[in-house]
Amino acid sequence: MKTIGKEWTRKEEGGTFTADHLSPSQLSKSMDIWFNDYVILTAKERKDLLGNLNMDIGSIVGIAAQLMITEKLTLEEVMKGKK
């Protein structure tokens, strides 16, 4: 990210920005919601917000894929909770 001024440094360093990366979900938010989430709220406060269904399903799919790759499990084994 190209820095413009102090306003884009992290809060811990005296700035206002509380995120350290940009994601597609951040970029699809309206400016007022993005400002609230990434300038007003801290990372811990953002983490405490309720997620949405897409986040939950993405997490489940990611964990299942990781288990299938790293543990060499089949989808059926993952679904049955082998690991």
In terms of pLDDT, which residue wins out, 70 or 23? 70
pLDDT, tens digit, 9 for 90 and up, residues 10-68: 667 776 666 666 778 788 889 999 889 888 888 889 889 888 888 889 989 999 999 99
- The structure's pTM equals 0.47
- Backbone φ and ψ of 54, nearest 5°: -60, -40
Q: Flag whether pLDDT at 3 surpasses 60.
A: no
* Residue of 75, 54, 55, 57 lying closest to 66 (CA atoms): 75
